[in-house]
């Protein structure tokens, strides 16, 4: 449980979360359905209310970062489209038209409170590449130190590769979780049209507190049929899994609820709270685990699995049985169980990621070999470990 929070009863439509101190930093993700009614029609009254709530938190000393959907939806409305286009270039056009409208909307909403906003457009590649990752973290810290509220959105207009392939986040719930982890926020608040996680197989009520995201919890999630939304509850649960591992508590609630933000933080708001993990991952490990999308895999035997998972040691050649894909020294790769021997893991389960010190050809050549054999093959190498424990993160 978060050190600044206590959770009350786990039954009923709401929960108790009492913050003993003012949250230092929060990320608030707002879905398209919260900001608009219909396609491309801004809900100005709701936006004004949300800005007032965020401004009150800001004035009380909380650093606020907003992850805002809505650019594609606003662009659709301005261009007279009633359905989200399937063609990549048309989606990009909607995003390009809508993004400027979105930023104008946020600045107008915060003007009465004397707060400046700052536009930050990100792609997955920005957070995957280590130097850019650290640069973005520094910029966001600088922006909040100036008293601004950064408005973050995915940069959907960059290229076809960014909007439709591996370098795309997939949804702003995931982006919100990644940003929360990046800047070490205490809380991620996901506001959408959903009132929280609903137990459809049991009580039919909102699940107030989730202490651990189990397969049963994941089974409660569903998708979305909205023309402008992406992902639905499935993406929110996935984002919560990422955020709580970073030590960040997660709220999922309805953005249509009056005064939802102060109610959540005072413990009177309806919604679902996901309890953060007790020990958050150090930032480099978090970057390795969650900001990468490796295409190559190193397979290890059953003996290597507990050495990595339970003993926290480096990956040596002796435990490797093969590779899939190609990679160069310094690349990030998946580590998976090859299925040989006894293990609690299923065959080909990926359980870790790491920064490899050898190329794929070199790893293939030394797979299964002991240290003296590796040293004889590469006498000039200072390191014998294929992936050092400091460069390895468990999933």
Task: Tell me if 25-285 shares its fold with 294-394.
Answer: no
Average pLDDT, the chain: 84
Place of tokens 């169980």: 337
Residue 155 annotated as part of some ligand binding site: no
Order of strands across the sheet with 25-30? Answer: 117-122, 149-154, 63-68, 25-30, 187-192, 249-254, 272-274, 209-210
Q: What is the pLDDT averaged over residues 135-151?
A: 96
Nearest CA-CA partner of 181 in 131, 253, 247, 236:
247
Instruction: Look at residue 191 in the predicted model and tell me its pLDDT.
Output: 95
Rg of the chain taking only CA atoms, in angstroms: 23
Residue 232 annotated as part of some ligand binding site: yes
Q: In whole angstroms, give the CA distance from residue 259 to residue 257.
A: 6
Q: In whole angstroms, give the CA distance from residue 197 to residue 204.
A: 10
Structure tokens belonging to residue 195: 């009132």
pLDDT at 135 over 80: yes
Mapped to the 3 state alphabet, what secondary structure does the chain carry? CCCCCCECCCCCCECCECCCCCCCEEEEEECHHHHECCCCCECHHHHHHHHHHHHHHHHCCCEEEEEECCHHHHHHHHHCCCCCCCCHHHHHHHHHHHHHHHHHHHHHHHHHHCCCEEEEEECHHHHHCHHHHHHHHHHHHHHHHCCCEEEEEECCCCCHHHHHCCCCCCCHHHHHHHHHHHCCCCEEEEEECCCCCECCCCCCCECCEECCCCHHHHHCCCCCCCCCCCCHHHHHHHHHHHHHHCCCEEEEEECCCCCHHHHHHHCCCECEEECCCCCCCCHHHHHHHHCCCCCCEEEECCCHHHHHHCCCCCECHHHEEEEECCCCCCCEEEEEECCCCCCCCCCCCEEEEEECCCCHHHHHHHCCCCHHHHHHHCCCCCCCCCECHHHEEEC
Residue 355 annotated as part of some ligand binding site: no
Q: Which is more confidently placed, 90 or 292?
A: 90
pLDDT digit string, tens, across residues 250-300? 999 999 999 999 989 887 788 999 988 766 667 777 777 766 778 899 999
Domain boundaries, the chain: 25-285, 294-394
Instruction: Look at residue 118 in the predicted model and tell me its pLDDT.
Output: 97
pLDDT at 126 over 90: no
Lowest mean pLDDT among 94-103, 157-166, 358-367, 379-388: 157-166
Lowest mean pLDDT among 47-51, 82-86, 247-251: 82-86
Q: What are phi and psi of 27, to 5 degrees?
A: -115, 130
Q: How large is the angle between the packed helices 232-245 and 283-290, nearest 10 degrees?
A: 150
Assign 157 a pLDDT band (cuts: 50, 70, 90): low
pLDDT at 326 over 90: yes
Residue 267 annotated as part of some ligand binding site: no
Given a contact cutoff of 8 angstroms between Cβ atoms, the answer to whether 182 and 140 are in contact is yes
Instruction: Look at residue 231 in the predicted model and tell me its pLDDT.
Output: 53
Q: Which is more confidently placed, 92 or 387?
A: 387
pLDDT at 15 over 50: no
Place of tokens 């790491």: 354
Q: What CATH number belongs to 25-285? A: 3.40.1160.10
Instruction: Look at residue 183 in the predicted model and tell me its pLDDT.
Output: 92
Q: In whole angstroms, give the CA distance from residue 10 to residue 208.
A: 6
Q: What is the pLDDT averaged over residues 112-117?
A: 97
Q: Which is more confidently placed, 9 or 291?
A: 291
- How far CA 388 is from CA of 143, 315, 380, in Å, comes to 35, 6, 17
Lowest mean pLDDT among 238-247, 253-262, 284-293, 372-381: 284-293
Cβ burial of 131 (10 Å; 0-12, 13-18, 19+) is exposed
Assign 164 a pLDDT band (cuts: 50, 70, 90): very low
Lowest mean pLDDT among 125-134, 304-313, 380-389: 125-134
Residue 380 annotated as part of some ligand binding site: no
pLDDT at 195 over 80: yes
Q: How many residues does the chain have?
A: 395
pLDDT at 60 over 80: yes
Instruction: Look at residue 285 in the predicted model and tell me its pLDDT.
Output: 77
Residue 138 annotated as part of some ligand binding site: no
Nearest CA-CA partner of 264 in 188, 211, 194:
188
Assign 368 a pLDDT band (cuts: 50, 70, 90): very high
- How far CA 141 is from CA of 124, 138, 193, in Å, comes to 19, 5, 30
Q: What is the pLDDT averaged over residues 4-33?
A: 58
Residue 236 annotated as part of some ligand binding site: yes
Q: In whole angstroms, give the CA distance from residue 7 to residue 23.
A: 16
Q: Residue 343, Cβ neighbours under 10 Å: how many?
A: 20
Contacts of residue 360, Cβ cutoff 8 Å, sequence gap at least 6: 296, 323, 325, 326, 327, 328
Residue 29 annotated as part of some ligand binding site: yes
Q: In whole angstroms, give the CA distance from residue 195 to residue 272.
A: 8
Q: Which is more confidently placed, 18 or 369?
A: 369
Residue 230 annotated as part of some ligand binding site: yes
Look up the CATH superfamily of 294-394: PUA domain (2.30.130.10)
Instruction: Look at residue 276 in the predicted model and tell me its pLDDT.
Output: 86
What residues does 119 pair with on adjacent strands?
A: 151
Structure tokens belonging to residue 6: 């206590």
Instruction: Look at residue 14 in the predicted model and tell me its pLDDT.
Output: 38
pLDDT at 161 over 50: no
């Amino acid at each position: 449980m978060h050190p600044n929070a206590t959770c009350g009863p786990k039954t009923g439509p709401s929960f108790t979360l009492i913050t003993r101190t003012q949250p230092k930093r929060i990320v608030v993700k707002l879905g398209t359905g919260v900001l608009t009614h219909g396609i491309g029609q801004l809900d100005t009254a709701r936006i004004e209310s949300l800005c007032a709530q965020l401004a009150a938190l800001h004035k009380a000393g909380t650093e606020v970062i907003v992850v805002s959907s809505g650019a594609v939806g606003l662009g659709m409305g301005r261009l007279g489209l009633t359905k989200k286009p399937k063609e990549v270039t048309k989606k990009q056009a909607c995003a390009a038209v809508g993004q400027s409208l979105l930023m104008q909307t946020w600045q107008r909403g915060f003007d009465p409170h004397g707060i400046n906003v700052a536009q930050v457009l990100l792609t997955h590649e920005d957070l995957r590449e280590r130097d850019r990752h650290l640069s973005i973290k520094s910029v966001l810290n600088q922006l909040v130190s100036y008293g601004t509220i950064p408005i973050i959105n995915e940069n959907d207009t960059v290229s076809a590769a960014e909007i439709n392939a591996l370098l795309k986040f997939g949804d702003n719930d995931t982006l919100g979780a990644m940003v929360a982890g990046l800047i070490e926020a205490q809380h991620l608040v996901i506001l959408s049209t959903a009132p929280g996680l609903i137990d459809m197989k049991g009580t039919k009520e909102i699940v107030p507190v989730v202490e651990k995201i189990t397969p049963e919890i994941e089974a409660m999630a569903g998708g979305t049929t909205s023309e402008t939304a992406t992902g639905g509850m499935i993406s929110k649960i996935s984002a919560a899994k990422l955020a709580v591992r970073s030590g960040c508590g997660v709220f999922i609630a309805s953005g249509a609820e009056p005064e939802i933000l102060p109610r959540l933080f005072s413990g009177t708001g309806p919604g679902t709270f996901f309890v953060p993990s007790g020990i958050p991952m150090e930032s480099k490990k978090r970057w390795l685990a969650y900001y990468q999308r490796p295409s190559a895999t190193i397979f290890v035997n059953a003996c290597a699995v507990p050495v990595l998972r339970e003993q926290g040691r480096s990956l040596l050649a002796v435990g490797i049985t093969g590779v899939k894909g190609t990679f160069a020294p310094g690349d990030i790769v998946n580590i998976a169980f090859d299925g040989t021997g006894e293990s609690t893991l299923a065959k080909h389960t990926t359980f870790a990621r790491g920064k490899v010190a050898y190329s794929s050809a070199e790893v293939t050549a030394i797979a299964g070999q002991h240290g003296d054999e590796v040293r004889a093959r590469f006498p000039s190498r200072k390191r014998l470990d294929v992936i050092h424990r400091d460069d390895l993160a468990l999933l």
